Structure 1
Amino acid sequence: MRKIIRLFKVLFTIVRYRLDKVLLSQTKYKFILWFFPWHYFVWTKLPRAQRIRLTLETLGPIFIKFGQTLSTRPDLLPDDVADELTKLQDSCPPFETQKAIKIVEKSLKGKLTDFFIKFDEHPLASASIAQVHSATTINGDDVVVKVVRPNIEKAIKLDVSLLYFLAKLIGLHPDGKRLNPKAVIKEFEGIIHNELNMLFEAANASKLRENFKNSELLYVPEVNWELTTREVLVIERVYGTPINKIEKLKEKNIDLKKLSSQGVEIFFTQVFKHNFFHADMHPGNIFVSDSGQYIALDFGIMGSLSNQDLQYLAKNFLAFFNRDYKIVSEVHLESGWIPSHIDPIEFETAIRSVCEPIFNKPLKDISFGKVLMNLFKEAQKFDIQVQPQLFLLDKTLLNIEGLGRQLNDDLDLWQTAKPVLEDIFKKRKKDEFKTQLKELKQLPKLTLEVLEVLKTPKQQHNQELKEIKNQLQKNNQQQKVFATIVFFAMLLFFIKEMIL
């Protein structure tokens, strides 16, 4: 019964904002609209994108969270809808403090006073998944306590099942196949269930803190692991000025130009050095201390890339900075992502159409986040599947660029990023060279193993050769090529000798 009532509310809200027309008007089922009485009345003249946002807001926190997740995938949405969904605010009316206290006590297996000498009854913030209270531990540490909403798992299960129902309706739309709504909802389901587990967020915060433990660029609050459980996250309370409060930062004599450059440095360090980046860096999650140091908050959404994606990204950045669209095209060709039926020259022409208009502008006037997004969209026209993590990263880059230029109108991303990237790549090449030298030492051993294989009975050859092959495959690409050539050359030589 509860599901039927909820479904009725969802359908009513869709009709209220006339999204039924958006869904059906371009399908073969559009005639159904003629039988709806409301079809003949104009209820709203609001733009389509605004109606979608209002629908999600009306349907509550889970749908808002879904809209926020969609906003990180502009590859799936028209520009107007993607932009509008970024306005969604994940805030909800707070639930009763006594319920929060009961959850804390049940989770920690004790009375509240066993763990805290102070627990503020008025929440600092209340969102779709959890509510945050300030507190002081019995050790005198100021902390914030993040408590998962009561019965939220049931609400998520219900609303996600309805989202799958809506996915079937969206599948009727001409763009349904391209949007692949079921896959998008499945991805969202995984994200939101991870956010329900405070241990995941605690682990993210701890890893990011470890990455920047000796850095003056970014401060990450410390997790209190003794008081953290699946339902409760207890983390150090930090104080600072929100990054978008420009006047307050000026009053505190914070160097805004330095701050903007450091923000870019933090981003590139996270991506290319640590390969672990904060993927929700909007102004509400970034504070600045009185000394001018960045402070990160909220670690529910983090990202990382495969080595292939990192190479793709790094080469694209260098090509942008050198204004060489041909290399941008070659990067896509080398990646192996382009289907065999695609004409490389046609693809290069498409890439040129994206890059040439921007290369006439000064570097400081170019949004590399927008250029990357345009490249992703162009690639998808050629059936190239860009990984969701790359879109997540690009969303983060757009946030960083926006904040950086808000702090400093003349921010030149290239001048700021170039020395950071060069330093990171030098260290990476040095590490790779050390690894190659280490792996080269294994080559004599592998050669001896080949000799032993040739002496063993024929039935054992396949298994032992397979083991050697697996060992070789663990080497990096350059070493693998070298070692494989030597290996097979020696193998052929010994076989020839045995035959002769």
Structure 2
Amino acid sequence: MRHTLRLPFRLLTIARVLRRHDALSAVEALGIYPTLIALLRRVGGRTGSGRPGQKLARALTELGPSFIKFGQFLATRADLIGEQMAADLSELQDRLPAFSFEEARDILESELGRPLDDLFDHFEQKPISAASIAQVHFAITREEDPEIESREVAVKVLRPGIESAFERDLQLFYYLAYLVERTQPRLRRFKPVEVVGLFEETVRTEMDLRMEAAAASELGENFEGDPDYQVPAVDWERTARRVMTQSRLSGIRLDDRQALLAAGHDLTEVLRKASAIFFNQVFRDGFFHGDQHPGNMFVTADGGIGAVDFGIMGRLDHRTRTFLADMLLATLARDYRRLAQVQVDAGYLPPGQSMDLYAQALRAVCEPIFGRPLARISFARLLGQLFRLTESFNLSVQPQLVLLQKNMLMAEGVSRHLDPSLNIWVLAEPLITDWMRAHRGPQARVRDAGQSMIEGLERLPATLAQMESIVQQAAVGGLRLHPETVAAFTDAKRQAAGIRRAMLLAALALLLAAGALLL
């Protein structure tokens, strides 16, 4: 790790800001520089109020864009900082003073290689929002082809100098992470250097607006033809690394209950659509919007739901989605040993931990939940409590699952605000049932077995070729093998055609069985 002479002075500045907001407890918990922290606590008066997470959020806002983004990133890691602090940091307001129209125009023209007036008939000089990474302006496109109509668009422009500021602060974050790993053995299991690495990857992706445009494009394709979900179309002609242009989306904020009622929207129907959209993103596609707070979600005039801001996205592979489904089934059945076994199979419970004791801990967490009315059950909080068992049992949890849990919490919060009598996940029950039947039922098991056999057939020629190569090397003296081993390889090659025929017949039988089950 390369250090610079500026690091100590930067650390001192940060400590003073934390002290001013009475947020030093966050640093005290890390156990680094205890003498400096103790000294700062003795100097000056405390001005902070509220919970520790709220104080830290105010301090991070004062420290600037990189720290705001880091605070938002930590808000997705309740497994690291606890649910209350994560909830407080999730309220971190990513609002900064806007940069000038002249700076925005210079970036636009430099990135797109054309004068602003050639690209837009109208460009609003005052942005509609200004955040730590970028700000957004409304505009109307100028089309060279007279037969193409101009379109209303939203143009996101990267904040000037944000890349260099991020690089400077990133060095500091890595330095602190290395320091924590060296001096605090109890915190090593949280892998602070790895956490900073994931943060770096996340922010670098956010700072390349082409990546956000690509995420929006993929999400839009996943919901193509679905009238209930609208993703703004990307204008690739007016998109580059520091500029992204999308069609303009208008509507009522998803959490504005009074405005939705005044516009004549059926709140139950709105929530039904929202639950189906969330389910389809997570289970059907394994690609979900990672920052679905109400400010990024709108109800359009026709009753559909629209989304913006695709800088943070989550992915779940098919295996993880299957484990989630199995965990949900086991939880609903109150089969805690099965729930523990699923997590062992997923590799979440490390070797040496007692599965029986873990199953008992799962029962202690889940049983109090089931005594409540259905509308009051929070599956997101239940998932969060399961994650909190990580400290006791030294489990490893995928960051994507924590991101999913954060989004579930936001969805439940909006749902209860719109209609406290409804549970948003119950509305998605038919979809969940169908998905589980398709992916965990007998048909799916037959299909998966057939797929595994087909994959084995596809690998067979390469396997046999490797075996033949080994035999040839042995023949020229490159390897010394026992004569019986050479004979076995030769027999395997001779019998390859018979093996392929047998496996094809077995695959055909499996396909026929699958067809019979589906009828």
The secondary structure found in structure 2 opposite 1:76 is helix
- Determine the C-alpha separation between the residues in 1 that align with 2:71 and 2:166: 14
- Determine the C-alpha separation between the residues in 2 that align with 1:290 and 1:268: 23
CA offset at residue 94 of structure 1? Answer: 0.3
> Which residue of the partner structure matches residue 71 of structure 1?
75
1:118 equivalent in alignment to 2:122: yes
Q: Which amino acid aligns with 2:170?
A: V
> Which residue of the partner structure matches residue 497 of structure 1?
none
Aligned length: 472
Deviations 1:393-422 (A, max 9, x none): 111111111112222222234532221012
> Which residue of the partner structure matches residue 260 of structure 1?
271
> Which residue of the partner structure matches residue 96 of structure 1?
100
Distance 1:389-1:439 versus aligned 2 partners, 3 A rule: closer
Q: Are the equivalent residues in 2 in contact too, given 1:380–1:386 (CA < 8 A)? A: no
CA offset at residue 176 of structure 1? Answer: 3.1
> Which residue of the partner structure matches residue 314 of structure 1?
325
Distance 1:116-1:176 versus aligned 2 partners, 3 A rule: same
- Determine the C-alpha separation between the residues in 2 that align with 1:42 and 1:455: 79
What does 1:281-292 align with in structure 2 at a 5 Å threshold?
A: 281-292=292-303
- Determine the C-alpha separation between the residues in 1 that align with 2:432 and 2:138: 39
Could you tell me which of 54, 59, 65 is aligned with 1:55?
59
Q: Which amino acid aligns with 1:239?
A: S
The range that moved more, 219-228 or 359-368, is 359-368
What does 1:24-423 align with in structure 2 at a 5 Å threshold?
A: 24=28, 27=31, 30=34, 36=39, 39=42, 42-44=45-47, 46=49, 47-139=51-143, 140-168=150-178, 170-171=180-181, 172=183, 175-423=186-434
The range that moved more, 410-419 or 68-77, is 410-419
The range that moved more, 183-192 or 319-328, is 319-328
CA offset at residue 96 of structure 1? Answer: 0.5
Distance 1:439-1:119 versus aligned 2 partners, 3 A rule: same
Could you tell me which of 23, 29, 34 is aligned with 2:27?
23
Distance 1:71-1:464 versus aligned 2 partners, 3 A rule: farther
Distance 1:346-1:165 versus aligned 2 partners, 3 A rule: same
The secondary structure found in structure 1 opposite 2:153 is strand
- Determine the C-alpha separation between the residues in 2 that align with 1:52 and 1:444: 57
Distance 1:122-1:5 versus aligned 2 partners, 3 A rule: farther
Distance 1:210-1:431 versus aligned 2 partners, 3 A rule: farther
Deviations 1:358-416 (A, max 9, x none): 11223222100000111111144211101101001111111111112222222234532
- Determine the C-alpha separation between the residues in 1 that align with 2:490 and 2:241: 46
Deviations 1:313-370 (A, max 9, x none): 1112222333433332221133233222111111111111011111122322210000
RMSD: 3.4
CA offset at residue 457 of structure 1? Answer: 8.6
Task: Give TM-score scaled by structure 2 length.
Answer: 0.82
Task: Give TM-score scaled by structure 1 length.
Answer: 0.85
Q: Are the equivalent residues in 1 in contact too, given 2:415–2:423 (CA < 8 A)? A: no
- Determine the C-alpha separation between the residues in 1 that align with 2:244 and 2:468: 61
Q: Which amino acid aligns with 1:349?
A: Q
> Which residue of the partner structure matches residue 481 of structure 2?
none
In structure 1, stretches of 5+ residues that fail to align are 483-500
Distance 1:336-1:10 versus aligned 2 partners, 3 A rule: closer
- Determine the C-alpha separation between the residues in 1 that align with 2:158 and 2:461: 59
Deviations 1:178-229 (A, max 9, x none): 4432222121111111101011001100111111111122111100111111
> Which residue of the partner structure matches residue 491 of structure 1?
none
